[in-house]
Chain A
């Protein structure tokens, strides 16, 4: 497996995203997350130059290529950036389900499924349209107060 799990957390250690590609009980996930967050934050206290700063954490296997994993993280950030038009942490907080959906179009089962940025974004935007079309009638009704 290329990636066992991926975590995103804030400078203060608040979890913003967690994607697990290995089966682990909730307790195990919590423990691992906690330990990792602690380690990263104590290790690099001076890494961030501004107040809010997101940490990306990817767990890979022993024989995997760490440098390409960095590129994977890089690519994911670029995708978020493109989708949210200059992404910031708040975007991820308020649209976490979108962040997951983007991730799920980029990785599957811990491996990269699409290497073209364009195609990944297309795979999000088109279903988004599908969703909007289906929802529109209902939201109009809501707006005029007829629920």
Chain B
């Protein structure tokens, strides 16, 4: 059999291949030859064959059949064989394969070899890919070599020990004695690897850290070594652009960081050297900046005095002006980490940071954007927002969503005026309208609703915005909603902030209908548009017929959502026209939900369904006084809008009944509702609408179900009275009455309730929030319970109120519901 071709020959041959297929053919042919050579157990050429295999492996071809051959090479006595064998092991094997365990014995022998280069190979391989089992078996050998006087081996043993510790942390202790005099070495290789080893130990074990701080007095030693490096003259062996051994300097700085963290004494001991490095390091080349960077990281992480911290931040500020974009990048990353703790110092560099928004590099732009948002405050909001809006305009699409969200947040926190806020939102919607996140739409709608004096201005601007282009969905949704709400202001030309425009009702309907028809509009957007059109039926005077027509057309829309809406609105026109104006009234001001949960109080006409509620333990701690907030917290769903309570508290027995009366009148044609403001808004849960068709919804009064005392403590008594629905046997209406027998009023009274998962609960507005003393009056509130599975009714209630100057809170379970209330 002819000798296998040499490695270089093979490489040359393969490179002549003109196509991938040709290359593959050559490789396959050679692999076959190598395989038969392996089968013949040819010792002479094994090394050559494995080398070729490694080359082919690098090209991406499978080479696993060479794994065992690597082991044979390692076991060979020849140095050449061992070299390739170990290289092959590192490339072809990894610790997930059992094969590598066979190496353990060889490595053990080689660690004790007479030739240091063989020992070196073994240490290298163990330190790169040794598994935990191997490390356990060989840790003793490594520890022995850590104590050798041969610096070539000592440095490798140190890094090998690092690997062992990473793999088997429990073995850390055994290396401790060997570390005793490591830092007394003159050899830089040993010094460097020793510092790495000490760093690893200190990072992993607080005990070790304490030991090295106190007992070994590591900090002064490191400071001494660092000082020598800086002060010593030119050393050609370790010099890099005039700096002596920057690698060692950086590692020492890193170890100092760990030693100084949370430790005043250590931090103080290194203060001077840090200041020295920070001020004296040459910054013209990358190597100097690398050291400065590590110094800054250390200063920021230890307990440094404020002067030093300011120095560090100023270094970062200078980095921002550097031509090298790598340096700008690390500066921005570090500033982002420190902006919370050293806010004022970072603020001083704000203008430089903002300039980085115009950088060409994408990573720099992103960091600059994040940092800019972190720096926005009440003082700089106007200037910063200008820059950020400009950035939003010109940045890559991948940034737009985050930038828009950031701008909304910043605007909400620091807006100097409502007009400015609305303008900013408008700008974002028109610039990056399609990148705005979905959750921004309800937030914006709520914001607009609450800026009462800006309604006319807002609707006018929004109208103008979508007139030209109605493709950006979030913009169109907000605009449609506003036009639906404030279309009357638009048409009457009432704008104070700017020149009012002349718009007719038909023009408004034109744009809304265009949105409905457009292919670009999503289903959600269409829903907004249709509802807006419907709302305008009570705000416009001349075009009601047109609206009726549109609504009836969509009653046969393919889109089920639209169809349902249209049918319901149609019904509103046909059968319940007397309710229409009340139902489509202007939205009240909505309170902002705090961060308690993902649910949003903002309703967008008919969007919401009551979420299935669970028994949640009511959250403790101060709750915002807004009632709807509390309900949401407890009940976890967004099911009702806050209803302006107008039901008088005078007659306890029928107070709840009045509300019910309204709905009970539904089958009488033409009778207007007596208390229009307290009729629930359009977003009603489905079960309420169930009874609308024919019969009285509820038995009026005295249905024969006994009432219960649900709670009685500390002078507060709560009674439940029950009514069942005729048409929907799953609905129970509970009217609660709270009375107070003490001598002082109970104020800010809030009643909350939670029910088990299979139930649904709707809590209407209470009559007031004060329970007057001496039982002179009561608070009434209506609870509607839907119990489709006819399970036993249980309820947990939470009461909060102020009494005698202190805040009271109580939780209770109500388990004494009479069976007639739920069966």
Contact = CB atoms under 8 A, between A and B. Distances in A.
12 contacts: A15-B58, A23-B95, A67-B286, A68-B247, A71-B287, A71-B290, A72-B247, A108-B124, A108-B159, A109-B159, A113-B193, A119-B189
Contact of A131 (B83, B129, B287, B293): B83
B80 interface: yes
A111 B159 contact: yes
Interface in B161-187: 162-163, 166
B189 A71 contact: no
A66 B83 contact: no
Please report whether the interface of chain B is mostly helix, strand, loop or mixed according to DSSP.
helix
A100 interface: yes
Interface of B: 3, 7-8, 11, 15, 51, 54-55, 58-60, 78-80, 83-84, 87, 91, 94-96, 115, 117, 120, 123-124, 127-129, 152, 155-156, 159-160, 162-163, 166, 188-189, 192-193, 196, 237-238, 240, 245-248, 250, 254, 286-287, 289-291, 293-294, 297, 326-327, 329-330
Contact of B162 (A20, A70, A93, A109): A109
A18 B58 contact: yes
B94 A68 contact: no
Contacts, number: 139
A65 B189 contact: no
Interface stretch (A49-57, A80-88, A122-130): A122-130
A147 interface: yes
A113 B192 contact: yes
Contacts of A126: 117
Interface residues of A, number: 47
A113 B154 CA distance: 10
A76 to B, nearest CB: 12
Given A111-B162, A116-B188, A130 B127 contact: no
A15 B60 contact: yes
B84 A97 contact: yes
A30 interface: yes
Please report whether the interface of chain A is mostly helix, strand, loop or mixed according to DSSP.
helix
B247 A67 contact: no
Nearest to A100: B87
Interface string A92-128: 0110110011001000110111111111000100110
A63 to B, nearest CB: 8
B237 A97 contact: no
A119 B3 CA distance: 37
A144 interface: no
B94 A116 contact: no
A117 B189 CA distance: 11
B60 A96 contact: no
Interface hub of B156, B166, B248 (most chain A Cβ within 10 A): B156
Contacts of A113: 155-156, 159, 189, 192-193
A80 to B, nearest CB: 16
A67 B289 contact: yes
B127 A109 contact: yes
B130 to A, nearest CB: 9
A47 interface: no
Nearest to A133: B79
A68 B83 CA distance: 30
A7 B197 CA distance: 25
A112 B773 CA distance: 80
Contacts of A16: 58
Contacts of A75: 240, 247
Contact of A112 (B54, B192, B294): B192
Contact of A65 (B59, B188, B250): B250
Given A66-B326, A75-B240, A100-B91, 5 more contacts: A65-B254, A96-B54, A96-B58, A108-B124, A127-B79
A130 B120 CA distance: 14
A67 B293 contact: yes
A135 interface: yes
A114 B83 CA distance: 19
